[in-house]
Amino acid sequence: MINKLKLMPFLFLFLTGCSKDDGSIDEVELGAVTNEVVLFRFTPDTGSNSSRLEYEIRFDNPNSIKVNGYHEVTLNVDGTVSTNLATNFSPCYEIGANSSCTISYDEQESFETNITTSVELVSVDYVLEVQN
């Protein structure tokens, strides 16, 4: 019993000794979330009076903590460059520690609405959300 009582102060210091005196939390430097384009395919004529755009992109979080952020996919559609910005409701807004998340897109567009002849992938980025 005496040995257990002698260890109690050390156990208390061990459990509470990691926090700063001012109550602040240590900042962690995060590594960049990387991405891999698993699939990117544009079919200008599907044979049914439509074009089709498909892509699948995997984001990898190498950090030991979960991250929140937004993916940006920039496309060149018939010479017009535009960026699709994700929201906090989008897939991959949150990526767990040391894990991956994949977004998929597969849409057909009727020639009656628009005739697109070329789509090129310009860039893919993952922007980490700044926590206050």
Question: Mind giving me the DSSP string for the chain?
Answer: -HHHHHHHHHHHHHHHTTS-TT------PPPPPEEEEEEEEEES--SSSEEEEEEEEEEE--SSS-EEEEEEEEEEETTEEEEEE--TTSTTSEE-TT-EEEEEEEEEEETTT-----EEEEEEEEEEPPP-
Whether 25 shows a pLDDT value over 90: the answer reads no
pLDDT in tens, 60-106: 999 999 999 999 999 999 999 999 988 888 899 999 999 999 999 99
Q: Which residues contact 36 (CB under 8 A, 6 or more apart)?
A: 57, 58, 60
- Mean pLDDT for the stretch of residues 113-117: 86
Whether 7 shows a pLDDT value over 70: the answer reads no
Read off the pLDDT band of 130 (50, 70, 90): confident
- Mean pLDDT for the stretch of residues 50-63: 96
- Mean pLDDT for the stretch of residues 41-52: 94
How does the average pLDDT of the chain come out, rounded? Answer: 83
Whether 30 shows a pLDDT value over 90: the answer reads no
pLDDT at 21: 55
Secondary-structure class of domain 35-128 per CATH: mainly beta
Domain boundaries, the chain: 35-128
| Residues 35, 126: Cα–Cα separation, whole Å | 8
Q: What percent of the chain has pLDDT over 90?
A: 62
